[in-house]
Amino acid sequence: MRIAFVAPEMAPFLKTGGLGDVAGALPDELAKCGHDVSVFLPYYSQLELGRLAVHERKEKFTVTIDRHEYEVTLSQVRDKRRNVQILLIGNKELFDRSSLYVDPSTGVDYEDNDIRFLFFSKAVIGAIQRIGPAPEIIHVHDWQSALIPVLLKNDSSSGSYFENTKTVLTVHNLAYQGAFPSERFRLLELPTEMMAPETGPFEFWGKMNYLKAGLVFADRLTTVSPKYAMEIQENSETGCGLDGVLRSRSNDLFGILNGVDYKVWSPSRDKQIPATYHLNNLSGKRTNKVELLNRSSLPIRDTAPLIGMITRLVDQKGIDLVAEASEELFKMNVQMILLGSGEKKYHEFFKDLEDRYPDKCRCYLTFDNVLAHHIEAASDIYLMPSRYEPCGLNQMYSLKYGTVPVVRNIGGLSNSVVKYDATTGEGTGFLFDEYSSTAMIAELRKAVSLFAKKRAWTKLMKNGMREDFSWHRSALSYCRLFESLVNH
């Protein structure tokens, strides 16, 4: 099967969150299942391609938006470690920016994000037609490529080229929808009834919504965990206002849990941590903890569990609970190291927290992939109190690193962490239901008191380390879905 995989970001070249990790790993796993996979990405100026050669292909064409002709350059990355073709869709005016989606000088989204990703979607459709036979599947991700299924079904300019092509849209986070002022709809040059109030697939509370239209037109929809697939259909809060559309597509909507790239995220092979370790010899974990505490100017206290957090500092991640609970938290014998970046109010809060608890708390308010690995490897407990969580990756990384997760019982967190049972010693972590600082602290207390019982704690760590969330399993689910769609 030929698969075109279209994503706005891809690790390790560039990522802002979990979608980047998925795009970095899933295409290769699909290729391992025997499929011919091409990945399409915007050619951002800040892609970190290292020593990989980039070869500009001879096919050049233009995409017209609002009577402006944007030239498309198509470049191919030669990456021998991968079995997939990587194609970069270039246009300097649109993708040579200092950040991906948000203008750092104003802190708000680039004003022309609608044009940037309309261009990207049209350019991908043009590029696919120029490089070979039509794919059976175009797998698009989030609002940035959600227009592709819409354009394929409503724009006749590609003739019959895509008549046997099916589209699958994966939603990584329903809160990000690509909503733009309704007057901008004319740029899409689609029939005006598609923006009609109540009935138009693009129309959403007076705005134009790329994701909503994608949810209407893609042949199949997936999201990144079975629990989140249910939750987003429940009500308008959990469904971010799109619950009605999702319920109407319920039979076509599947939850497939993301996997982990264990080549990158496992303590026995991790090249980014001071000391590797594995299930049968955990001594390296202590070395990592000591080094991280030293680096962070925190005292070494063997009786105090180190709580790690690596997160975008946004409301979704339950940061307000941590802020609310901080006094209670530091009454316990714990230390905490947080790595995060995001909203200004949280930056200020954590800067202050560090000053208030200089021997217990250190906050790195930045994005740092190497430090993220070190925190996973050094911490005893990983805290993830998300308000909602489509899948979440760090709780799965934590399991492999023997870092016991304390998480909220929602979304992908429920699908990956098994509640610890003190009587049997089974389970892999601690889960709390209610979104409250009291519920979170209660579960943290259980974790902290178990930490003192070394044998039970080590067993719990090992239960987690034995779990397998490798991509292979998830990729098989995607393959089955693609095959059923193609044979439909």
Backbone angles phi, psi at 300, to 5 degrees: -85, 115
Q: Which residues partner with 470 through β-bridges?
A: 260
Closer by beta carbon to ligand ADP, 18 or else 200: 18
Alpha-carbon gap, residue 222 to 169, rounded angstroms: 6
Supply the minimum distance, in Å, between the C-beta of residue 391 and ligand ADP.
6
Closer by beta carbon to ligand ADP, 23 or else 444: 23
Supply the minimum distance, in Å, between the C-beta of residue 440 and ligand ADP.
18
Alpha-carbon gap, residue 353 to 336, rounded angstroms: 11
Residue type, 483: E
Closer by beta carbon to ligand ADP, 86 or else 391: 391
Contacts of 454 (CB under 8 A, 6+ apart): none
Rg (CA), the chain: 23
Closer by beta carbon to ligand ADP, 216 or else 372: 372
Q: Which residue is nearest to ligand ADP (CB)?
A: 18
Closer by beta carbon to ligand ADP, 151 or else 306: 306
Supply the minimum distance, in Å, between the C-beta of residue 17 and ligand ADP.
3
Supply the minimum distance, in Å, between the C-beta of residue 417 and ligand ADP.
13
Supply the minimum distance, in Å, between the C-beta of residue 177 and ligand ADP.
15
Q: Which residues lie near ligand ADP (CB under 6 A)?
A: 17-18, 21, 173, 310-312, 339-341, 367-369, 372, 391-394
- Structure-token pair, residue 393: 């990756």
Closer by beta carbon to ligand ADP, 38 or else 394: 394
Q: Give the helix/strand (H/E) hosting 454.
A: helix 454-465
Supply the minimum distance, in Å, between the C-beta of residue 236 and ligand ADP.
21
Alpha-carbon gap, residue 299 to 301, rounded angstroms: 6
Contacts of 449 (CB under 8 A, 6+ apart): none
- What 8-state DSSP symbol labels residue 426? B
Alpha-carbon gap, residue 430 to 441, rounded angstroms: 11
Alpha-carbon gap, residue 12 to 21, rounded angstroms: 8
Alpha-carbon gap, residue 396 to 394, rounded angstroms: 5
Q: Are strands 361-364 and 381-384 parallel, antiparallel or unpaired?
A: unpaired
- Structure-token pair, residue 126: 């043009």
Closer by beta carbon to ligand ADP, 258 or else 437: 258
Q: Give the helix/strand (H/E) hosting 55.
A: strand 53-65
Supply the minimum distance, in Å, between the C-beta of residue 85 and ligand ADP.
25
- What 8-state DSSP symbol labels residue 199? T
Residue type, 56: E
Alpha-carbon gap, residue 125 to 118, rounded angstroms: 11
Supply the minimum distance, in Å, between the C-beta of residue 406 and ligand ADP.
15
Q: Give the helix/strand (H/E) hosting 218.
A: none
Q: Are strands 381-384 and 335-342 parallel, antiparallel or unpaired?
A: unpaired
Closer by beta carbon to ligand ADP, 182 or else 395: 395
Residue type, 66: D
Cis-peptide, bond into residue 197, ω within 30° of zero: no
Closer by beta carbon to ligand ADP, 49 or else 314: 314
Supply the minimum distance, in Å, between the C-beta of residue 189 and ligand ADP.
33
Closer by beta carbon to ligand ADP, 82 or else 312: 312
Supply the minimum distance, in Å, between the C-beta of residue 377 and ligand ADP.
12
User: Are the C-beta atoms of residues 431 and 408 closer than 8 Å to each other?
Assistant: yes
Closer by beta carbon to ligand ADP, 188 or else 404: 404
Supply the minimum distance, in Å, between the C-beta of residue 367 and ligand ADP.
4
